[in-house]
Amino acid sequence: MDFEKHDPRTEEPYMILDENGKVVDKENLPELSEDELKYLYKTMVFTRIIDERAVSYQRQGRMLTYAPNTGQEAAQVGSAYALEKRDWLVPAFRELGAWLVKEVPLKNIYLYWYGNEWGSYMPEGVNMLPVAIPIASQMQHATGIAMANNIKGEDSVAMAYVGDGGTSSGDFHESINFAAVFNAPVVFVIQNNQYAISVPRKMQTTSKTLAQKAVSYDIPGILVDGNYIFAMYAVTKQAVERAREGLGPTLIEAYTYRLGAHTTSDDPTKYRLDEEVEEWSVKDPIKRFETYLLNEGIITQEYIEELKEELDQEVGATFESIEDKSDTEVEDIFKYQYEEMTPQLQEQLDEYKSFLEGVK
């Protein structure tokens, strides 16, 4: 695909597989081995199981507020798989599949949503920033990392995710503008899941697509069907290679849908119809990829059932280990803000310790 010839205002999302799992663009079909295809499928299924379990745990009062990912697995796993180990992933808060591709341990992921400070800890060699809750602020961080890579003469790439609602934020535009001006090696992925909490996409902008925001900054932009893992991977890989070659940033709009609630504190039935959810459920990215793999003889129904059972057991065991011993050490709240505590944080910690002594 030639980004330079692609019109980001095109309202028909780019795809490689059709809704029945058949290839419609053989020329750009990624050359992936059977092992890689199985890995991608496994990661998407793992994402779904972790996600469904997390919602269940929260409903049982065993976990804090959680942001579901169901329906967006292809947009996350497909894009993240285009990165190399040395590249940086800069998430918002709904990129579970991407975190798994980046090899963030499941225990850390659950610790974060459990409310433990160590959930934000990234193991050595995992180039990923922690969750960013302030809308679109992570895009500035990604642009900064990419600009630093240029300054240091490194060839690593940064990739940031943002929701459709985040495109209305000033940080979104400032980040892309800086990245374009300084030719930063960064890829911006908009997860357009149609709703920013209760605000629909049509209330965010009158632009035909979100991808066309790229036109203002004279960088490539493309609308991709985010429920097709091949399309997401192929487009993102090209954007990553483009950035690595010194050709600057790219804006990708992953056209997908949030099948669940914005967070477990949200009730989506108040602002969208069940018929709409049903319509998108048919486009389930996992079922679509699964159909392709079954048709190609790469996996079997028995493989699917065994895989789900294996992953479900792993998820259950991991969460139980957290519940057994996962209380946050209050001192970590002070110590983990910076490499070394500031005088103010040290003063607050000392005050806290004095309070505990007084209680005793």
pLDDT by position in tens, the chain (length 360): 678 778 999 889 999 988 777 788 888 899 999 999 999 999 999 999 999 999 999 999 999 999 999 999 999 999 999 999 999 999 999 999 999 999 999 999 999 999 888 899 899 999 999 999 999 999 999 999 999 999 999 999 999 999 999 999 999 999 999 999 999 999 999 999 999 999 999 999 999 999 999 999 999 999 999 999 999 999 999 999 999 999 999 999 999 999 999 999 999 999 999 999 999 999 999 999 999 999 999 999 999 999 999 999 999 999 999 987 756 778 888 887 888 999 999 999 999 999 888 876
Would you state the pLDDT for residue 81?
98
Q: Give CA torsion, residues 232, 289, 303, 66, to 10 deg.
A: 60
| 5 C-beta neighbours (distance < 10 Å), count | 7
Q: What is the largest CA-CA distance in the chain?
A: 72
Cβ 220 vs Cβ 214: under 8 Å: yes
DSSP-derived 3-state class of residue 249? coil
Q: What is d(CA 99, CA 10) in angstroms, rounded to the nearest whole number?
A: 30
Q: Tokens representing 49?
A: 């199981």
CATH architecture, domain defined by 3-328: 3-Layer(aba) Sandwich (3.40)
Q: Tokens representing 43?
A: 């990661």
Would you state the pLDDT for residue 146?
98
Active site amino acids: 258, 262, 271
DSSP secondary structure code for residue 23 in this structure = B
Cβ 153 vs Cβ 146: under 8 Å: no
Q: What is d(CA 175, CA 115) in angstroms, rounded to the nearest whole number?
A: 29
pTM summary value: 0.93
Closest CA to 192 of 164, 166, 223, 157: 164
Would you state the pLDDT for residue 3?
80
Which residue pairs from 241-246 have beta carbons closer than 8 angstroms and sit at least 24 positions apart in sequence? 242/3, 243/146, 243/157, 243/184, 243/185, 243/186, 243/187, 244/155, 244/156, 244/157, 244/185, 246/183, 246/185
Alpha-carbon distances, residue 282 vs 194, 287, 288 (angstroms): 16, 9, 9
Q: Tokens representing 101?
A: 């591709």
Residue with tokens 């005088």: 343
Q: What is d(CA 89, CA 274) in angstroms, rounded to the nearest whole number?
A: 34
Would you state the pLDDT for residue 266?
97
Q: Tokens representing 323?
A: 């519940």
Closest CA to 143 of 243, 216, 245, 212: 243
Would you state the pLDDT for residue 326?
58
Q: Tokens representing 35?
A: 């092992």
